C-alpha cells in the first residue's frame, strides 16, 4: 500500500485526527500560517482566543473536565512565550495538554530571527517532555508520542515546536500504531506484597484517615475511594486538587486540609495513627511545618510517580501505580474484615459539630454566602476558580458531588486561570453549567476572553466576588504586615457590568443578599456568557488559617 503524500501541516492535522482531537484553542501568527491554512478546511473546531495564555488555560480546563488531552496552538516567539504560564500551570497540576508552537524555519534557528524564541529550552523545566521537529518525516511519530506521554502515567504538558519550513515540506504520512519509548514505561499495577502490607496496617489502625488529591480524579478512582472508605469506615480529607473526588456531604468527608482546611481535617490528620495518602505530594500548603506533621501516623503513600514517594515525608508503605487499580486491590484484602474505627469516627463527628466551617450570618453580603447560593441554585455546576480568596471560598462552601466539578490552579496558583479555563471546560462539557468563581483582581488578568466567549458562543458564568482588593494578599498584609495595604487596593478599577456589555455579554450586579438568588437564576436562564458583579464585604478573610510555616493544628480563626 502506498502511503499518502502530504505537507507537514496536513500531517499535523491528520495526526490530530488520529488522536480524536475535537477542538484546538489557538492564535495564529507568521510561523504557523501553513498550519492555519490547513485548519481552514479541517473538521477540527478552532477557538480563537484573544491572548495565547488563555489558549493554554482553556486546553487545560478542557482536559481537566473531560479527561482527554487538551490542545493549544500558538505562533513562534511571543506567541510561544505567552503559553508559558499556562504550560507551567498544567505541569504543576499534572494536566495532559499538547501545546503546538510555530518556529522560524530551520536554517534561521539560532540566528535571533524575527519572532524567534527557544521555546523548547524555555519550557524544559515545565513540560513532561518537549520536541523540536528537526525532520519533517518525524511529525507523525512525534505527535503519537506527545499524546501518549501527555495522557499516560502521571499526566502533564508536552510541547511540540514546529519550524515553518517543516510545515510545508512534503512527506509520506503513516501514523504509527504504537509508541516505542525505551525510557518511558509507567507502572500501573501496585506491588502485591506492598498492597498486603498496606491492608494489614489498615486493619490494625484505630485512627486511619484518607488524604487524597488530584491523583484520584486523574485516575477516575472516586468510586473506588468511596467504596474503600466506607468499607474501612475512615474519614476522607482532600487537598485543593482533590476537591470533588469525594462528596462534600458524605458523612465520612472532613473537607479540605492544610492552610485553609477545616479545623477537623487538620486535627484528624494530626491525631491519626495511619494516613492513607493517594495521589498527593505532601505539598507545603498541606503539611504546614513538616517536622510537626502527623507525628503519630504511619504513612501509606500510593502514587503513580515514584519520585513523589519519600520526597517530602518519610513513608512506611510506598505503593507505586495507578490509584484506581490499587484501591480496588486494597478493597479485596480488607473487604471481609472488621475495622476498629468507631471511637475515632465519633471523635471526628464531635469536632465537626464543634468547629464547623462558617462565617458571620448578618445582613452584609459576604462572599461565602454567594458560594452557598450558587451551590443551592446550581448543584450540578462545574466550579472553576481563579486564585486567591475566591478559590478558597469556592473550595470551602460549595457542595461537591461528582469528580471533575472543581477545577482550579492548585500548584502554580495562577491568577487569571479561571476564566479561560472555564471556557475550555464549557467547550468540553457543553451540557453543564460552568461557573468561574472569580475575584475582581484575577478576572482582570484575562478578561479579554469575553470577546472569545461571545464570538464563539461559550456561555460561561463569571461570578466575581468583588471586594475591591487583591484579597488574599490584603489578608496577609492585615495579619502579618500591620494592615499596611501596599498595592492591594484596586477599588473602582472597572465597571464589570459595562465591561461585559461592551463585549456583548450579559452583565449583572448584586449588592444585597436579597439580590443574589435572582441574579444567579437570571444568568443561568439567559444562556449567554454572563458576568455577575457581586459587590461583597471588602475585608472578609478566609478562615480558618494556618500561618505559613506553622504546624497545621496551630489554627487562627479569622471570623
Partner 1 sequence: MKHTVAVLVENKSGVLTRVAGLFSRRGFNIESLAVGVTENADTSRMTIVVSGDDNVLEQVMKQLNKLIDVIRVSDIPQEDSVNRELALIKVGVDSNTRAEVMQIVDIFRAKIVDVGAKSLIVEVTGDESKISAIEQLLRQFGVKEMVRTGKVAMNRGAKVVQSEKK
Complex with partner 1: residue 7 or 130, whichever CB lies closer: 130
User: 212 phi and psi, to 5 degrees?
Assistant: -125, 155
52 is catalytic: yes
Catalytic, out of 3, 114, 521, 539: 114
527 binds partner 1 (CB under 8 A): no
Q: Which DSSP letter does residue 69 get?
A: P
Q: How far is the CB of 516 from partner 1 (least distance, A)?
A: 46
Residue 40, class by beta-carbon neighbours within 10 Å (0-12 exposed, 13-18 middle, 19+ buried)? Answer: exposed
Written as nine digits, the cell of 251 is 458523612
Label the pairing between strands 317-320 and 298-303. Answer: parallel
Written as nine digits, the cell of 158 is 508536552
Complex with partner 1: residue 225 or 313, whichever CB lies closer: 313
Assign 3-class secondary structure to 453-509: HHHCCCCCEEEEEECCECHHHHHHHHHHCCCCCCCCECCCCCCHHHHHHHHCCEEEE
For residue 305, the Cα-to-chain-centroid distance in whole angstroms is 18
426 binds partner 1 (CB under 8 A): no
Spatial separation of the C-alpha atoms in residues 67 and 559, rounded to whole Å: 38
Q: Is 55 left (phi over 0), alpha (psi -120 to 50) or beta?
A: alpha
Complex with partner 1: residue 104 or 222, whichever CB lies closer: 104
Q: How far is the CB of 231 from partner 1 (least distance, A)?
A: 32
138 binds partner 1 (CB under 8 A): no
Three-state secondary-structure class, residue 24: strand
DSSP-assigned beta bridge partners for residue 74: 101
298 binds partner 1 (CB under 8 A): no
444 binds partner 1 (CB under 8 A): no
184 binds partner 1 (CB under 8 A): yes
Catalytic, out of 472, 475, 477, 496: 472
Complex with partner 1: residue 35 or 158, whichever CB lies closer: 158
Q: How far is the CB of 131 from partner 1 (least distance, A)?
A: 9
- Tell me whether the omega of the peptide bond preceding residue 544 falls within 30 degrees of 0, making it cis: yes
492 binds partner 1 (CB under 8 A): no
Per CB under 8 A, the segment of 175-183, 214-222, 461-469, 542-550 that binds partner 1 is 175-183
301 binds partner 1 (CB under 8 A): no
115 is catalytic: yes
Complex with partner 1: residue 83 or 149, whichever CB lies closer: 149
Instruction: Out of 4, 181, 251, 358, name the contact with partner 1 by CB under 8 A.
Output: 181
Q: How far is the CB of 14 from partner 1 (least distance, A)?
A: 24
Give, as ranges, the residues between 310 and 339 that touch partner 1 (CB under 8 A).
310-311
Please choose, from the candidates 242, 318, 253, 233, the residue with its C-alpha nearest in 3D space to the C-alpha of residue 280: 242
Spatial separation of the C-alpha atoms in residues 318 and 294, rounded to whole Å: 17
Give, as ranges, the residues between 143 and 172 that touch partner 1 (CB under 8 A).
149
82 binds partner 1 (CB under 8 A): no
Instruction: Out of 177, 180, 183, 492, name the contact with partner 1 by CB under 8 A.
Output: 183
Q: How many separate helices (H) and strands (E) can be counted in the chain?
A: 22, 20
Q: Tally Cβ neighbours within 10 Å of residue 528.
A: 16
Spatial separation of the C-alpha atoms in residues 478 and 228, rounded to whole Å: 43
Q: Tally Cβ neighbours within 10 Å of residue 151.
A: 19
Q: Tally Cβ neighbours within 10 Å of residue 363.
A: 9
Q: How far is the CB of 106 from partner 1 (least distance, A)?
A: 13
Complex with partner 1: residue 183 or 492, whichever CB lies closer: 183
Q: How far is the CB of 167 from partner 1 (least distance, A)?
A: 21
Per CB under 8 A, the segment of 8-16, 125-133, 325-333, 525-533 that binds partner 1 is 125-133
- Alpha-helical (H) ranges within 220-366 are 222-232, 263-271, 284-287, 323-334, 342-354
Please choose, from the candidates 69, 276, 23, 34, the residue with its C-alpha nearest in 3D space to the C-alpha of residue 163: 34
Instruction: Out of 10, 57, 129, 260, name the contact with partner 1 by CB under 8 A.
Output: 129
164 is catalytic: yes
CB 368 within 8 A of CB 359: yes
Assign 3-class secondary structure to 174-213: CCCCCCCCCCCCCCCCCCHHHHHHHHHHHHHCCCEEEEEC
306 binds partner 1 (CB under 8 A): yes
Complex with partner 1: residue 185 or 353, whichever CB lies closer: 185
Three-state secondary-structure class, residue 99: strand
Catalytic, out of 10, 68, 128, 164: 164
Per CB under 8 A, the segment of 265-273, 306-314, 334-342, 457-465 that binds partner 1 is 306-314
125 binds partner 1 (CB under 8 A): yes
Per CB under 8 A, the segment of 85-93, 193-201, 301-309, 380-388 that binds partner 1 is 301-309
Per CB under 8 A, the segment of 90-98, 177-185, 291-299, 535-543 that binds partner 1 is 177-185
Q: Within 13 Å and on the Cβ side, how many CA atoms surround 441?
A: 20
135 binds partner 1 (CB under 8 A): no
Catalytic, out of 22, 115, 333, 537: 115
- Alpha-helical (H) ranges within 19-51 are 33-39
Q: How far is the CB of 130 from partner 1 (least distance, A)?
A: 9
Instruction: Out of 3, 296, 307, 491, name the contact with partner 1 by CB under 8 A.
Output: 307
Per CB under 8 A, the segment of 25-33, 235-243, 300-308, 374-382 that binds partner 1 is 300-308
Per CB under 8 A, the segment of 32-40, 121-129, 234-242, 270-278 that binds partner 1 is 121-129
Spatial separation of the C-alpha atoms in residues 260 and 1, rounded to whole Å: 61
Q: Residues interacting with partner 1, by CB under 8 A? A: 120-121, 124-125, 128-129, 132, 134, 149, 181-184, 305-307, 310-311
Q: What residues are annotated to the active site?
A: 52, 114-115, 164, 472
Amino acid at each position: 500500500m502506498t502511503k499518502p503524500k502530504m505537507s507537514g501541516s496536513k500531517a499535523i492535522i491528520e495526526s490530530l485526527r488520529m488522536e480524536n482531537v475535537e477542538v484546538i484553542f489557538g492564535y495564529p501568527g507568521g510561523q504557523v500560517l501553513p498550519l492555519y491554512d490547513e485548519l481552514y478546511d479541517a473538521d477540527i473546531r478552532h477557538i480563537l482566543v484573544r491572548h495565547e495564555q488563555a489558549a493554554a488555560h482553556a486546553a487545560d480546563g478542557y482536559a481537566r473536565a473531560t479527561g482527554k488531552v487538551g490542545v493549544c496552538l500558538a505562533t513562534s516567539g511571543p506567541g510561544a512565550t505567552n503559553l508559558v504560564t499556562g504550560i507551567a500551570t498544567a505541569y504543576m497540576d499534572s494536566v495532559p495538554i499538547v501545546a503546538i508552537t510555530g518556529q522560524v524555519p530551520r536554517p534561521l534557528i539560532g540566528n535571533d530571527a524575527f519572532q524567534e524564541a527557544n521555546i523548547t529550552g524555555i519550557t524544559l523545566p515545565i513540560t513532561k517532555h518537549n520536541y523540536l521537529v528537526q525532520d519533517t518525516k518525524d511529525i507523525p511519530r512525534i505527535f503519537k508520542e506527545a499524546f501518549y506521554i501527555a495522557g499516560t502515567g502521571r499526566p502533564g504538558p508536552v510541547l511540540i515546536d514546529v519550524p515553518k519550513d517543516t510545515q510545508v515540506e512534503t512527506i509520506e504520512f503513516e501514523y504509527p500504531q504504537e509508541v516505542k519509548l525505551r525510557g518511558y514505561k509507567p507502572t500501573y499495577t501496585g506491588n502485591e506484597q506492598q498492597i498486603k502490607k498496606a491492608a494489614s496496617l489498615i486493619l490494625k489502625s484505630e485512627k486511619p484517615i484518607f488524604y487524597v488529591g488530584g491523583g484520584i480524579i486523574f485516575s477516575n478512582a472516586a468510586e473506588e475511594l468511596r467504596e474503600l472508605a466506607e468499607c474501612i469506615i475512615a474519614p476522607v480529607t482532600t487537598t485543593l486538587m482533590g476537591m470533588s473526588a469525594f462528596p462534600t456531604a458524605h458523612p465520612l468527608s472532613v473537607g479540605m486540609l492544610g492552610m485553609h482546611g477545616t479545623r477537623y481535617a487538620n486535627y484528624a490528620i494530626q491525631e491519626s495513627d495511619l494516613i492513607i495518602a493517594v495521589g498527593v505530594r505532601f505539598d507545603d500548603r498541606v503539611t504546614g511545618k513538616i517536622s510537626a506533621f502527623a507525628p503519630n501516623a504511619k504513612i501509606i503513600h500510593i502514587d503513580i510517580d515514584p519520585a513523589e514517594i519519600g520526597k517530602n515525608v518519610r513513608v512506611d508503605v510506598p505503593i507505586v501505580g495507578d490509584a484506581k487499580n490499587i484501591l480496588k486491590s486494597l478493597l479485596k484484602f480488607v473487604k471481609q474484615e472488621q475495622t476498629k474505627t468507631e471511637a475515632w469516627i465519633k471523635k471526628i463527628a464531635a469536632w465537626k459539630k464543634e468547629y464547623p466551617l462558617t462565617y458571620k450570618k448578618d445582613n452584609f453580603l459576604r462572599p461565602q454566602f454567594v458560594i452557598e447560593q450558587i451551590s443551592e441554585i446550581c448543584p450540578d455546576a462545574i466550579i472553576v476558580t481563579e486564585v486567591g480568596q475566591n478559590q478558597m471560598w469556592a473550595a470551602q462552601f460549595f457542595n461537591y458531588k461528582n469528580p471533575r466539578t472543581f477545577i482550579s490552579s492548585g500548584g502554580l496558583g495562577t491568577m487569571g486561570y479561571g476564566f479561560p479555563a472555564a471556557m475550555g471546560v464549557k467547550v468540553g462539557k457543553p451540557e453543564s453549567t460552568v461557573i468561574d468563581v472569580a475575584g475582581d483582581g484575577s478576572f482582570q488578568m484575562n478578561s479579554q476572553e469575553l470577546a472569545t466567549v461571545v464570538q464563539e458562543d461559550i456561555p460561561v458564568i463569571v461570578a466575581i466576588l468583588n471586594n475591591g482588593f487583591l484579597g488574599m494578599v490584603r489578608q496577609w498584609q492585615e495579619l502579618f504586615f500591620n494592615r499596611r495595604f501596599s498595592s492591594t487596593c484596586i477599588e473602582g478599577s472597572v465597571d464589570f457590568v459595562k465591561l461585559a456589555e461592551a463585549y456583548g455579554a450579559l452583565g449583572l450586579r448584586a449588592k444585597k443578599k436579597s439580590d443574589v438568588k435572582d441574579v444567579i437564576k437570571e444568568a443561568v436562564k439567559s444562556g449567554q456568557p454572563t458576568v455577575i458583579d457581586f459587590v461583597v464585604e471588602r475585608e472578609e478573610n478566609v478562615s480558618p488559617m494556618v500561618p505559613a510555616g506553622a504546624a497545621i493544628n496551630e489554627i487562627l480563626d479569622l471570623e
